[in-house]
């Protein structure tokens, strides 16, 4: 369907489905956490949502490593330089763990400053302490969480994505059971609310990395083909050179969301914060197909570029976008048809449901732009052209989104204004990415010569 080789099409579709299911499981865990916590209290949802926003920023730093890993591995494998790919994998695991230790320390030491930036009201002692404790518990186990995106990249790059999927399924079940224990008191466990969710999340992430490392050695059979210590900085430089621009784009996005959340929290209040959290939880499932297609296509583009099959990469990506846009818009339509039922999963608050339904209507524009932006930006990264998406993201988000969001809130447009600005940002960046892709300038950016 996407390219001339039927076997290639079948393999691509299989990879997309595996990434789709695994990413859905990851997103589903966040949604299940939210639904379970909403039964505890709406304030618990807001507390965890604020802490997770800060943690998401740290996770974008880890994508410096995972993004560099997947791009390098896919191009090395496309060029049939397997030993180089294995060396990159080993180095990436080491530097991800070390990075996790560093960021864990930063979050623990500066947790009060982070909460202050998020405008968490210190006068509301219960809410403040809940948010702070959740943040601290998850931060302690951050070194293990830092390795998760890297091992996923390694499995996918070596065509073993199915193994990563099975691990995620098992660990997610463990996480759900852990949440239920500490929220509902299953098996005689103490009812701890958000703090219990933090313990469950930390344990499941640590368990996942332990299982993954064992299976990575057994199924992928990665072995060092060079002196790791001697070449540590050389290989690390390769990973960071490719991964840093790509990850900075994501970091810029998360910081933008961080600032927008601070505006919403500081000027609009808890109801608006909670509505934003619920709608974002729902829309994550809408753009899931485009994200899976973009990530799978990135690997294929890397393989094509490694083999110097540039025209194949170009045509494949254009067809992937058509599929992605169709699925995203269809999903948005379904979510609007069943908006009462979906929002009702989270809350009975009529004001939150009313505002949430309005935001879902604007999501048609957001998701079309996001599909366009995701697929072409990931394709550019897979080719080695990692700087263009970064530049457009910086200009759009910091030059347009943040100032417009501030003024729209001051002018009384509330969350509706915020969502309209989200749509504008995604569409503009998507248009710029597709124009750049069609010029073919990315063909000169191949990493494997």
DSSP 165-227: HHHHHHHHHHHHHHHHHHHH-GGG----THHHHHHHHHHHHHHHHHHHHHHIIIII----SS-
Residue that the structure tokens 């209040």 belong to:
269
Alpha-helical regions (H) of 39-160: 42-78, 82-109, 111-117, 125-140, 142-157
The confidence score (pLDDT) of residue 277 equals 84
Q: What angle do CA 209, 301, 446 make, to 5 degrees?
A: 100
The confidence score (pLDDT) of residue 224 equals 64
In whole angstroms, what is the distance from residue 324 CA to residue 375 CA? 8
In whole angstroms, what is the distance from residue 282 CA to residue 343 CA? 8
Q: What is the mean pLDDT of each run of 10 residues along the chain (449 residues)?
A: 61 90 78 74 77 77 85 89 84 89 91 82 79 86 88 89 89 88 85 84 87 83 68 81 82 82 80 85 86 94 91 92 93 92 86 90 92 94 91 92 91 88 93 93 82
Task: Kindly write down the DSSP assignment for every residue of 352-403, as one continuous string.
Answer: HHHHHHHHHHHHHHHHHHHHHHHHHHHHHHHHT--HHHHHHHHHHIIIIIHH
Task: Kindly compute the dihedral angle of the four CA atoms of residues 264, 269, 274, 275, in this order, to the nearest 10 degrees.
Answer: -70
In whole angstroms, what is the distance from residue 420 CA to residue 358 CA? 11
Q: Identify whether the C-beta of residue 306 lies closer than 8 Å to the C-beta of residue 76.
A: yes
> Residue ranges per domain, the chain?
6-445
The confidence score (pLDDT) of residue 1 equals 46
Please choose, from the candidates 445, 277, 317, 223, the residue with its C-alpha nearest in 3D space to the C-alpha of residue 3. Answer: 317
The confidence score (pLDDT) of residue 6 equals 64
In whole angstroms, what is the distance from residue 149 CA to residue 62 CA? 7
Spell out a b/e string for 146-177, using b for 16 or more CB atoms within 10 Å of the CB, else e: bbbbbbbbbbbbbebbbbbbebbeebbeebbe
Please choose, from the candidates 45, 20, 114, the residue with its C-alpha nearest in 3D space to the C-alpha of residue 281. Answer: 45
Q: Is 440 left (phi over 0), alpha (psi -120 to 50) or beta?
A: left
Residue that the structure tokens 């690997």 belong to:
299
- Count CB-CB contacts under 10 A for residue 187: 8
Q: Identify whether the C-beta of residue 349 lies closer than 8 Å to the C-beta of residue 271.
A: yes
In whole angstroms, what is the distance from residue 117 CA to residue 353 CA? 28
Please choose, from the candidates 386, 375, 380, the residue with its C-alpha nearest in 3D space to the C-alpha of residue 242. Answer: 386
The confidence score (pLDDT) of residue 18 equals 92
In whole angstroms, what is the distance from residue 312 CA to residue 114 CA? 46
The confidence score (pLDDT) of residue 435 equals 94
Spell out a b/e string for 101-116, using b for 16 or more CB atoms within 10 Å of the CB, else e: eebbeebeeebeebbe
């Amino acid at each position: 369907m996407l390219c001339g080789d039927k076997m290639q099409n079948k393999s691509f579709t299989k990879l997309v489905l595996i990434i789709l299911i695994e990413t859905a499981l990851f997103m589903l865990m966040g949604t299940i956490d939210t639904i379970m916590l909403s039964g505890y209290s709406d304030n618990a949802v807001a507390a965890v949502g604020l802490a997770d926003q800060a943690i998401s920023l740290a996770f974008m730093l880890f994508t410096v490593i995972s993004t560099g890993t997947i791009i390098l591995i896919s191009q090395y494998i496309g060029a049939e330089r397997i030993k180089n790919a294995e060396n990159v994998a080993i180095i990436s695991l080491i530097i991800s763990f070390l990075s996790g230790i560093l960021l864990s320390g930063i979050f623990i030491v500066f947790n009060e400053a982070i909460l202050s930036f998020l405008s968490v009201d210190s006068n509301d002692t219960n809410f403040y302490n809940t948010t702070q404790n959740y943040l601290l518990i998850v931060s302690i186990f951050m070194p293990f969480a830092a390795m998760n995106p890297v091992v996923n990249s390694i499995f996918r790059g070596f065509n073993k994505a199915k193994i990563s999927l099975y691990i995620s399924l098992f660990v997610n079940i463990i996480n759900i059971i852990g949440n239920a224990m500490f929220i509902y008191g299953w098996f005689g466990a103490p009812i701890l609310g958000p703090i219990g969710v933090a313990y469950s999340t930390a344990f499941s992430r640590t368990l996942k990395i332990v299982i993954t490392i064992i299976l990575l050695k057994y199924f992928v059979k990665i072995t060092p083909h060079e002196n790791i210590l001697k070449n540590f900085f050389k290989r690390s430089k390769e990973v960071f050179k490719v991964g840093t621009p790509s990850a900075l784009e994501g970091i810029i996005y998360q910081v933008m969301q961080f600032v927008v959340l601070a505006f919403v929290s500081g000027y609009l209040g808890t109801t608006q914060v909670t509505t934003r959290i619920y709608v974002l939880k729902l829309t994550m499932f809408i753009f899931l197909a485009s994200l899976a297609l973009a990530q799978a296509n990135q690997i294929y583009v890397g393989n094509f570029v490694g083999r110097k099959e540039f025209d194949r990469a170009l045509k494949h990506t254009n067809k992937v976008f058509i599929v992605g846009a169709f699925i995203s818009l269809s999903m948005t339509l379904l979510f609007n048809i069943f908006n009462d039922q979906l929002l009702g999963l989270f809350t009975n608050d009529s004001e939150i449901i009313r505002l949430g339904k309005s935001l879902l209507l604007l999501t048609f524009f957001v998701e079309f732009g996001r599909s366009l932006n995701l697929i072409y930006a990931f394709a550019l990264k897979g080719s080695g052209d990692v700087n263009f998406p970064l530049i457009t993201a910086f200009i759009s988000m910091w030059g347009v989104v943040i100032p417009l969001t501030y003024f729209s809130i001051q002018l009384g447009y509330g969350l509706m204004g915020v969502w309209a600005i989200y749509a504008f940002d995604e569409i503009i960046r998507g248009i710029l990415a597709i124009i750049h892709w069609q010029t073919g300038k990315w063909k000169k950016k191949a990493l494997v010569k």
